[in-house]
Protein backbone atom coordinates (compact mmCIF):
# COMPACT_ATOMS: atom_id res chain seq x y z
CA UNK A 1 0.00 0.00 0.00
CA UNK A 2 1.47 3.40 -0.96
CA UNK A 3 1.66 6.49 1.26
CA UNK A 4 -1.44 8.17 -0.21
CA UNK A 5 -3.49 5.04 0.46
CA UNK A 6 -2.15 4.97 4.02
CA UNK A 7 -3.24 8.59 4.54
CA UNK A 8 -6.69 7.79 3.14
CA UNK A 9 -7.11 4.78 5.39
CA UNK A 10 -6.10 6.77 8.46
CA UNK A 11 -8.51 9.58 7.62
CA UNK A 12 -11.36 7.11 7.12
CA UNK A 13 -10.64 5.44 10.44
CA UNK A 14 -10.78 8.83 12.20
CA UNK A 15 -14.01 9.76 10.42
CA UNK A 16 -12.26 12.66 8.66
CA UNK A 17 -12.31 13.42 4.95
CA UNK A 18 -10.24 15.91 2.96
CA UNK A 19 -13.15 18.39 2.84
CA UNK A 20 -12.88 18.88 6.61
CA UNK A 21 -9.15 19.56 6.27
CA UNK A 22 -9.81 22.13 3.54
CA UNK A 23 -12.40 23.90 5.70
CA UNK A 24 -9.95 24.14 8.62
CA UNK A 25 -7.22 25.55 6.35
CA UNK A 26 -9.73 28.01 4.86
CA UNK A 27 -10.71 29.24 8.34
CA UNK A 28 -7.01 29.60 9.18
CA UNK A 29 -6.46 31.68 6.03
CA UNK A 30 -9.39 33.96 6.91
CA UNK A 31 -8.08 34.49 10.45
CA UNK A 32 -4.49 35.05 9.26
CA UNK A 33 -5.68 37.60 6.73
CA UNK A 34 -6.57 40.00 9.57
CA UNK A 35 -2.84 40.69 10.09
CA UNK A 36 -3.12 43.96 8.20
CA UNK A 37 -5.82 45.13 10.59
CA UNK A 38 -3.36 44.78 13.49
CA UNK A 39 -0.08 45.77 11.82
CA UNK A 40 -1.57 48.93 10.32
CA UNK A 41 -3.42 49.89 13.53
CA UNK A 42 -2.45 53.14 15.34
CA UNK A 43 -1.11 51.17 18.34
CA UNK A 44 1.79 49.59 16.39
CA UNK A 45 2.62 52.08 13.63
CA UNK A 46 6.18 52.67 14.86
CA UNK A 47 6.95 49.10 15.94
CA UNK A 48 9.68 47.12 14.14
CA UNK A 49 8.80 43.70 12.78
CA UNK A 50 10.77 41.74 15.39
CA UNK A 51 8.79 43.38 18.24
CA UNK A 52 5.48 42.44 16.64
CA UNK A 53 6.77 38.89 16.10
CA UNK A 54 7.88 38.59 19.74
CA UNK A 55 4.66 39.78 21.36
CA UNK A 56 2.51 37.90 18.87
CA UNK A 57 4.42 34.69 19.63
CA UNK A 58 4.11 35.28 23.39
CA UNK A 59 0.31 35.58 23.29
CA UNK A 60 0.02 32.76 20.75
CA UNK A 61 1.86 30.52 23.26
CA UNK A 62 -0.47 31.66 26.06
CA UNK A 63 -3.59 30.60 24.15
CA UNK A 64 -2.05 27.36 22.81
CA UNK A 65 -0.49 25.88 25.97
CA UNK A 66 -3.86 25.24 27.73
CA UNK A 67 -4.90 23.20 24.65
CA UNK A 68 -1.97 20.81 25.09
CA UNK A 69 -3.11 17.50 26.57
CA UNK A 70 0.40 16.30 27.35
CA UNK A 71 3.95 17.49 26.78
CA UNK A 72 5.78 15.05 24.54
CA UNK A 73 9.32 14.98 23.27
CA UNK A 74 10.53 13.82 19.89
CA UNK A 75 13.83 14.62 18.18
CA UNK A 76 11.89 15.86 15.14
CA UNK A 77 10.85 18.91 17.19
CA UNK A 78 14.43 20.22 17.00
CA UNK A 79 14.56 20.80 13.22
CA UNK A 80 10.86 21.76 13.21
CA UNK A 81 11.34 24.61 15.71
CA UNK A 82 14.59 25.75 14.07
CA UNK A 83 12.88 25.86 10.67
CA UNK A 84 10.04 27.92 12.16
CA UNK A 85 12.53 30.38 13.70
CA UNK A 86 14.43 30.60 10.38
CA UNK A 87 11.18 31.36 8.56
CA UNK A 88 10.46 34.20 11.00
CA UNK A 89 13.99 35.58 10.59
CA UNK A 90 13.97 35.64 6.76
CA UNK A 91 10.40 36.96 6.67
CA UNK A 92 11.02 39.77 9.17
CA UNK A 93 14.40 40.69 7.67
CA UNK A 94 12.74 41.18 4.30
CA UNK A 95 9.82 43.04 5.88
CA UNK A 96 12.30 45.42 7.54
CA UNK A 97 14.08 46.14 4.25
CA UNK A 98 11.15 46.11 1.82
CA UNK A 99 7.45 46.89 1.90
CA UNK A 100 5.60 44.53 4.24
CA UNK A 101 3.34 43.29 1.43
CA UNK A 102 6.40 42.11 -0.55
CA UNK A 103 7.47 39.82 2.31
CA UNK A 104 3.97 38.34 2.45
CA UNK A 105 3.90 37.62 -1.27
CA UNK A 106 7.40 36.15 -1.22
CA UNK A 107 6.20 33.62 1.34
CA UNK A 108 3.62 32.39 -1.13
CA UNK A 109 6.17 31.24 -3.65
CA UNK A 110 6.14 28.26 -1.26
CA UNK A 111 3.69 26.05 -3.27
CA UNK A 112 6.35 25.45 -5.95
CA UNK A 113 8.87 24.32 -3.33
CA UNK A 114 6.21 22.23 -1.57
CA UNK A 115 5.30 20.39 -4.77
CA UNK A 116 8.96 19.61 -5.49
CA UNK A 117 9.98 18.64 -1.95
CA UNK A 118 6.63 16.98 -1.16
CA UNK A 119 6.97 14.63 -4.12
CA UNK A 120 10.59 13.76 -3.31
CA UNK A 121 10.33 13.63 0.50
CA UNK A 122 6.73 12.80 1.46
CA UNK A 123 5.69 10.88 -1.68
CA UNK A 124 2.69 13.18 -2.10
CA UNK A 125 0.56 12.72 -5.21
CA UNK A 126 0.08 15.77 -7.45
CA UNK A 127 -2.83 15.78 -9.93
CA UNK A 128 -3.24 17.76 -13.15
CA UNK A 129 -5.68 20.06 -11.34
CA UNK A 130 -3.03 20.71 -8.69
CA UNK A 131 -0.55 21.74 -11.39
CA UNK A 132 -3.14 24.09 -12.93
CA UNK A 133 -3.76 25.68 -9.53
CA UNK A 134 -0.07 26.08 -8.71
CA UNK A 135 0.72 27.41 -12.21
CA UNK A 136 -1.99 30.10 -12.16
CA UNK A 137 -1.23 31.10 -8.59
CA UNK A 138 2.52 31.36 -9.11
CA UNK A 139 1.90 33.44 -12.23
CA UNK A 140 -0.24 35.74 -10.11
CA UNK A 141 2.47 36.03 -7.45
CA UNK A 142 5.08 36.71 -10.17
CA UNK A 143 2.93 39.51 -11.61
CA UNK A 144 2.60 41.13 -8.18
CA UNK A 145 6.32 40.89 -7.42
CA UNK A 146 7.57 41.80 -10.91
CA UNK A 147 7.42 45.54 -10.31
CA UNK A 148 8.95 45.36 -6.83
CA UNK A 149 11.96 43.03 -7.01
CA UNK A 150 13.96 44.31 -9.95
CA UNK A 151 17.56 45.45 -9.61
CA UNK A 152 18.39 43.53 -6.44
CA UNK A 153 21.84 42.23 -5.47
CA UNK A 154 22.73 38.52 -5.41
CA UNK A 155 22.45 38.55 -1.63
CA UNK A 156 19.00 40.14 -1.77
CA UNK A 157 17.76 37.64 -4.33
CA UNK A 158 18.99 34.80 -2.12
CA UNK A 159 17.20 36.25 0.90
CA UNK A 160 14.00 36.75 -1.09
CA UNK A 161 14.16 33.14 -2.28
CA UNK A 162 14.66 31.91 1.29
CA UNK A 163 11.46 33.62 2.45
CA UNK A 164 9.34 31.23 0.36
CA UNK A 165 11.68 28.26 0.80
CA UNK A 166 11.69 28.39 4.62
CA UNK A 167 7.90 28.82 4.66
CA UNK A 168 7.60 25.72 2.48
CA UNK A 169 9.81 23.85 4.96
CA UNK A 170 7.52 24.95 7.81
CA UNK A 171 4.48 23.50 6.01
CA UNK A 172 6.29 20.26 5.20
CA UNK A 173 7.72 19.94 8.72
CA UNK A 174 4.21 20.24 10.16
CA UNK A 175 3.19 17.30 7.98
CA UNK A 176 6.33 15.49 9.10
CA UNK A 177 5.21 15.68 12.76
CA UNK A 178 1.50 15.22 12.05
CA UNK A 179 1.39 12.24 14.43
CA UNK A 180 2.05 14.63 17.34
CA UNK A 181 -0.44 17.00 19.00
CA UNK A 182 -0.98 20.03 16.77
CA UNK A 183 -1.39 22.42 19.74
CA UNK A 184 1.91 21.24 21.29
CA UNK A 185 3.91 21.50 18.06
CA UNK A 186 2.59 24.99 17.29
CA UNK A 187 3.05 26.12 20.91
CA UNK A 188 6.69 25.01 21.07
CA UNK A 189 7.35 26.70 17.70
CA UNK A 190 6.08 30.01 19.07
CA UNK A 191 7.91 29.62 22.39
CA UNK A 192 11.22 29.16 20.56
CA UNK A 193 10.42 32.15 18.30
CA UNK A 194 9.69 34.38 21.32
CA UNK A 195 12.96 33.32 22.94
CA UNK A 196 14.88 34.19 19.76
CA UNK A 197 13.54 37.76 19.73
CA UNK A 198 13.42 38.27 23.53
CA UNK A 199 16.92 39.83 23.95
CA UNK A 200 16.29 42.41 21.21
CA UNK A 201 12.88 43.40 22.59
CA UNK A 202 14.24 43.71 26.14
CA UNK A 203 17.18 45.84 25.02
CA UNK A 204 14.88 48.16 23.06
CA UNK A 205 12.13 48.16 25.72
CA UNK A 206 9.27 47.78 23.25
CA UNK A 207 5.85 47.03 24.77
CA UNK A 208 2.27 48.39 24.53
CA UNK A 209 1.78 51.68 26.35
CA UNK A 210 -2.00 51.57 26.77
CA UNK A 211 -4.80 49.18 27.72
CA UNK A 212 -6.03 49.24 24.14
CA UNK A 213 -2.56 48.32 22.93
CA UNK A 214 -2.35 45.33 25.28
CA UNK A 215 -5.79 44.10 24.17
CA UNK A 216 -4.84 44.54 20.50
CA UNK A 217 -1.51 42.67 20.82
CA UNK A 218 -3.21 39.88 22.80
CA UNK A 219 -5.84 39.47 20.06
CA UNK A 220 -3.08 39.65 17.44
CA UNK A 221 -1.24 36.75 19.05
CA UNK A 222 -4.19 34.61 20.10
CA UNK A 223 -6.76 35.00 17.35
CA UNK A 224 -4.63 36.05 14.37
CA UNK A 225 -1.71 33.68 14.99
CA UNK A 226 -2.08 30.97 17.64
CA UNK A 227 -5.54 29.55 16.98
CA UNK A 228 -5.36 29.65 13.14
CA UNK A 229 -1.92 28.00 13.18
CA UNK A 230 -3.38 25.17 15.25
CA UNK A 231 -6.33 24.83 12.84
CA UNK A 232 -3.91 24.84 9.92
CA UNK A 233 -1.75 22.10 11.47
CA UNK A 234 -4.83 19.92 12.06
CA UNK A 235 -6.14 20.49 8.53
CA UNK A 236 -2.69 19.76 7.12
CA UNK A 237 -2.89 16.23 8.50
CA UNK A 238 -5.54 15.41 5.90
CA UNK A 239 -4.60 17.26 2.70
CA UNK A 240 -1.27 17.62 0.84
CA UNK A 241 0.94 20.60 1.59
CA UNK A 242 0.70 22.13 -1.89
CA UNK A 243 -3.10 22.10 -1.73
CA UNK A 244 -3.08 23.68 1.73
CA UNK A 245 -0.81 26.53 0.65
CA UNK A 246 -2.95 27.02 -2.44
CA UNK A 247 -5.93 27.68 -0.17
CA UNK A 248 -3.78 29.88 2.08
CA UNK A 249 -3.13 32.23 -0.83
CA UNK A 250 -6.51 33.68 0.07
CA UNK A 251 -4.71 35.27 3.03
CA UNK A 252 -2.63 37.88 1.14
CA UNK A 253 -5.55 38.46 -1.24
CA UNK A 254 -7.80 39.37 1.70
CA UNK A 255 -5.22 41.38 3.69
CA UNK A 256 -5.81 44.63 1.73
CA UNK A 257 -9.59 44.07 2.03
CA UNK A 258 -9.48 44.16 5.84
CA UNK A 259 -7.03 47.08 5.79
CA UNK A 260 -9.44 49.01 3.54
CA UNK A 261 -12.44 48.20 5.74
CA UNK A 262 -10.66 49.22 8.96
CA UNK A 263 -8.17 51.96 8.05
CA UNK A 264 -9.10 53.47 4.65
CA UNK A 265 -10.13 56.67 6.45
CA UNK A 266 -6.54 57.30 7.60
CA UNK A 267 -4.42 59.84 5.70
CA UNK A 268 -1.56 57.38 5.07
CA UNK A 269 -3.79 54.66 3.57
CA UNK A 270 -2.55 53.31 0.22
CA UNK A 271 -4.86 51.34 -2.08
CA UNK A 272 -3.61 48.23 -3.96
CA UNK A 273 -2.08 48.91 -7.39
CA UNK A 274 -3.16 47.37 -10.69
CA UNK A 275 -0.55 44.57 -10.65
CA UNK A 276 -1.86 43.41 -7.27
CA UNK A 277 -5.39 43.27 -8.62
CA UNK A 278 -4.29 41.30 -11.71
CA UNK A 279 -2.22 38.91 -9.60
CA UNK A 280 -5.04 38.40 -7.11
CA UNK A 281 -7.40 37.55 -9.98
CA UNK A 282 -4.99 34.87 -11.24
CA UNK A 283 -4.64 33.43 -7.72
CA UNK A 284 -8.39 33.17 -7.27
CA UNK A 285 -8.69 31.69 -10.77
CA UNK A 286 -6.27 28.95 -9.75
CA UNK A 287 -8.45 28.01 -6.76
CA UNK A 288 -11.63 28.07 -8.84
CA UNK A 289 -10.11 25.87 -11.57
CA UNK A 290 -8.78 23.40 -8.99
CA UNK A 291 -12.01 22.81 -7.10
CA UNK A 292 -14.51 23.37 -9.92
CA UNK A 293 -12.55 20.81 -11.94
CA UNK A 294 -12.72 18.38 -9.02
CA UNK A 295 -16.49 18.87 -8.68
CA UNK A 296 -16.99 18.21 -12.41
CA UNK A 297 -14.91 15.05 -12.40
CA UNK A 298 -17.08 11.90 -12.62
CA UNK A 299 -17.25 10.07 -9.33
CA UNK A 300 -16.08 6.44 -9.33
CA UNK A 301 -18.90 3.91 -9.25
CA UNK A 302 -18.81 1.87 -6.08
CA UNK A 303 -19.35 -1.84 -6.61
CA UNK A 304 -21.30 -3.34 -3.73
CA UNK A 305 -20.56 -6.88 -2.79
CA UNK A 306 -23.52 -9.23 -2.52
CA UNK A 307 -23.73 -12.43 -0.59
CA UNK A 308 -26.73 -13.94 -2.36
CA UNK A 309 -26.57 -17.63 -3.17
CA UNK A 310 -25.95 -18.43 -6.85
CA UNK A 311 -28.99 -19.59 -8.82
CA UNK A 312 -29.57 -23.29 -8.89
CA UNK A 313 -28.79 -25.10 -12.10
Structural domain range at position 138: 16-293
Domain count, the chain: 1
Q: How many angstroms separate the CA atoms of 228 and 312, rounded? A: 62
pLDDT of residue 3: 41
Fill in the DSSP letter of residue 269.
Answer: -
Fill in the DSSP letter of residue 311.
Answer: P
State the DSSP string of the chain. --HHHHHHHHHHHTT--HHHHHHHHHHHHHHHTTHHHHHTSGGGTT--HHHHHHHHHHHHHHHHGGG-S-----TTHHHHHHHHHHHHHHHHHHHHHS-HHHHHHHHTTHHHHHHHHHHHHS-----HHHHHHHHHHHHHHHHHHHTTSTT--HHHHHHHHHHHHHHHHHHHHHHHTTTS-HHHHHHHHHHHHHHHHHHHHHHHT----SHHHHHHHHHHHIIIIIHHHHHHHHHTTTS-HHHHHHHHTHHHHHHHHHHHHHHTTSTT-----HHHHHHHHHHHHHHHHHHHHHHHSPPPPPPPP--PPPPP-
pLDDT of residue 2: 43
In a domain, residue 298? The reply is no
In a domain, residue 5? The reply is no
In a domain, residue 9? The reply is no
pLDDT of residue 269: 59
In a domain, residue 303? The reply is no
In a domain, residue 22? The reply is yes
pLDDT of residue 279: 75
In a domain, residue 266? The reply is yes
Positive or negative: CA dihedral 168, 40, 279, 93: negative
Per-residue pLDDT of the chain (313 residues; tens, 9 = 90+): 444 444 443 344 344 578 888 899 999 988 988 876 787 677 887 787 788 889 999 999 999 999 898 888 889 899 999 898 888 788 777 766 666 667 777 887 887 888 888 777 767 677 787 888 888 878 888 887 777 776 667 777 788 888 889 988 988 888 888 888 888 998 999 999 899 889 989 999 998 888 989 999 999 999 988 999 899 888 888 888 778 878 877 877 777 777 777 666 666 656 666 777 777 778 778 777 876 766 666 655 444 444 444 444 4
Q: pTM of the prediction?
A: 0.70
pLDDT of residue 312: 47
pLDDT of residue 9: 38
In a domain, residue 11? The reply is no
Considering only CA atoms, which of 183, 146, 212, 172 is closest in space to residue 67? Answer: 183
Q: How many angstroms separate the CA atoms of 107 and 168, rounded? A: 8
In a domain, residue 308? The reply is no
| Phi-psi domain of 70 (left: phi exceeds 0; alpha: psi -120 through 50; beta: other) | beta
Amino acid sequence: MNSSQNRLSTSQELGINPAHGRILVLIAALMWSTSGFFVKSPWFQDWPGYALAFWRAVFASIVLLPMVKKFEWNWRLVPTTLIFAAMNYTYLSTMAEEESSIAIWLQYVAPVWIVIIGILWLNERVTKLDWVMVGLQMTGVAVILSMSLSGGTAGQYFQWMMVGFTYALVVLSLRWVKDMQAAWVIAINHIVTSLVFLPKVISEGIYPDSVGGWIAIACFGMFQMGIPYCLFAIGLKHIPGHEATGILLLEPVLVPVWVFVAWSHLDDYQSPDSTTLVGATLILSGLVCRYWGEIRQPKPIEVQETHEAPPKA
